[in-house]
Amino acid sequence: MESQKKYTRCFSFEFFPPNTGEGAEKLAQTAKQLAQLKPEFFSVTYGAGGSTRERTLKAVLDLCEAGHAAAPHISCIGSSRSSVRETLQEYKNHGIRHLVALRGDLPSGTATSGEFHYANELVAFIREEFGGHFFIEVAAYPEYHPQSRSAQEDLNAFRRKIEAGADSAITQYFFNSDCYFHFVEECEAMGLRVPVVPGIMPIGRFSQLARFSDSCGAEIPRWIRKKLEGYGDDTASIRAFGLDIVTDMCDRLLANGAPGLHFYTLNQAGLTTTIWQRLGL
Ligand code: FAD
């Protein structure tokens, strides 16, 4: 874990771009509240196939205007090189220097995958076209990506993203810190020297969490699933139990060298703030 410790810790919060004026106002409030915790940056997701391109940019610019550091996500699947170049140029024109670069998933019913197949091609393209202008984050999967043919192939795919020029990585969320530590060891064994920041999903609603987890391949350990299921509609108990286990996991991650935390906030400040306060950050 040595190389992880060389970096200053980086804490960040992820939002999705709101699609109503009301959502935008709520996001501004959430950001204001979370900014008090002094994260390094906020990030804003990007819809499949560029479907939120304008909204992602607007949300990032609103955050910047309010004085926050913000990084847009950008995905490449289903896109042409010229449309990706245009999006990147627009980000650059607005003074944005930090990106989360992803392959993304094809929207259902889309027949063509466009000119990019995997995220390493996007990272290489950004470096070819924009040199060192952007600080590039990529995704990492301690429980392996659901489409990967094997653990080793997924690690190789991760290595290609770093070798293409990514600066740092943020993981898919997980509820078992062992998979994270194992992943970091595997990266170190491959000679990869970038921070791998754990992605943290606070637990608010079980049905939503179960749906997300099934689609992204993040395992909810059986004992946690059973407890959450057992609470039924008792949201207060779900949140209380979720706060306990997620806070404990964050504590273990930081105590054992994780270089920061990236919270999937779902545009809500409450659970993230409570975890933060309990960690004494
Ligand atoms: P890649 O790294 O390209 O990997 C995708 C799959 O392809 C993996 O299974 C990998 O093993 C395999 N692979 C890679 N290279 C090869 C190869 N040469 N041959 C065969 N197989 C290969 N999605 C969005 O749409 N918008 C977002 O804003 C967004 N933000 C995210 C933020 C984080 C921190 C994370 C962890 C995920 C995010 N996602 C987002 C989800 C992400 O787009 C999906 O998980 C997507 O399926 C994979 O994207 P990737 O960049 O990890 O792809």
Look at residue 275 and tell me if it is in a domain: yes
CA of 156 to the centre of ligand 1 (A): 13
Å from CA of 87 to ligand 1 middle? 19
The atom number, within ligand 1, closest to the CA of 117 reads 3
Q: Enumerate residues 6+ apart whose C-beta is below 8 A from 176.
A: 143, 219, 221, 249
Parent domain of 235: 9-279
Residue 3: inside a domain = no
Q: What is the CATH number of the domain that holds 72?
A: 3.20.20.220
Residue nearest (by alpha carbon) to ligand 1 atom 43: 104
Residue 45 counted as domain residue: yes
Distances (CA, A) of 27 to 23, 57, 186, 251, 269: 6, 14, 37, 27, 9
pTM: 0.96
> Residues with beta carbon inside 6 Å of ligand 1?
45-46, 48, 73, 75, 100, 102-105, 118-119, 139, 145, 147-148, 153-154, 157, 161, 170, 172, 199
Question: Are residues 166 and 103 in contact, defined by beta-carbon separation less than 8 angstroms?
Answer: no
Distances (CA, A) of 210 to 59, 84, 218, 229, 274: 27, 32, 9, 10, 22
Residue 111 lies in a domain: yes
- Is 14 catalytic? The answer is yes
Q: Does the residue 42 lie in any domain?
A: yes
Question: How many domains is the chain partitioned into structurally?
Answer: 1
Domain assignment present for 145: yes
As a whole-number percent, the residues of the chain with pLDDT over 90 amount to 92
- Is 190 contained in some domain? yes
Q: What is the pLDDT of residues 60-71, one digit of tens each?
A: 999 999 999 999
Please give the distance, rounded to the nearest whole angstrom, from the Cα atom of residue 280 to the centre of ligand 1: 33
Measured by CA distance, the residue closest to atom 28 of ligand 1 is 45
Catalytic residue among 14, 121, 137, 143: 14
For residue 4, being part of any structural domain is answered with no
For residue 262, the ligand 1 atom closest to its alpha carbon is 34
Digit-by-digit pLDDT tens for the chain (281 residues) are 444 444 578 999 999 999 999 999 999 999 999 999 999 999 999 998 788 999 999 999 999 999 999 999 999 999 999 999 999 999 999 999 999 999 999 877 776 778 999 999 999 999 999 999 999 999 999 999 999 999 999 999 999 999 999 999 999 999 999 999 999 999 999 999 999 999 999 999 999 999 999 999 999 999 999 999 999 999 999 999 999 999 999 999 999 999 999 999 999 999 999 999 999 98
Ligand 1 centre to CA of 124 (Å) is: 15
